[in-house]
Amino acid sequence: MIRTVVLCIACGTTADANSFCASLIDQQATLALPDGTEGTCGTSLDLSGARAHNCHWPFTYRAPEATEAFDAVLKATAACLGVQPVADQGVNHPDSYDLRTFHTDTAQVAVSIKDKGALQQTYVFLRISTP
């Protein structure tokens, strides 16, 4: 079953928080940002057989809205999982990149923001990996 979830934990209700948390766990959701913009989501498998649910949202290159969306997804994910993310090491790349990873007993949740200069777009990504 596919559900739409609004990532508005800070300004929303307990029902919003519960829906977001359920979506992280069941990985069947099409996630939406606080402004209602739905992400493009899908499921993938890696070579080890681990399953991942991936969503992304495109923005105009380095738009402030992209940073706001990244922060909202981070905050909602931390509130749901009850853990703080670990920041990734910096990369030597001309485009900007920031990755935060949440580790739980049953999954790894990664939230990132990436500038794609050649495309003149900035993307926010959410990846939920389970063994």
pLDDT tens-digit map of 32-46: 776 677 888 888 887
Angle between helices 14-26 and 64-81 in degrees, nearest 10: 80
Mean per-residue pLDDT for 61-90?
88
CB 1 within 8 A of CB 21: no
State the Cα–Cα distance between residues 40 and 125, nearest whole angstrom.
10
Which residues are registered as beta bridge partners of 112? Answer: 99, 125
Q: 11-15, 44-48, 108-112: which has the highest mean pLDDT?
A: 108-112
pLDDT of residue 91: 62
Percentage of the chain with pLDDT > 70? 69
CB 10 within 8 A of CB 75: yes
State the Cα–Cα distance between residues 109 and 37, nearest whole angstrom.
20
What is the model's pTM? 0.78
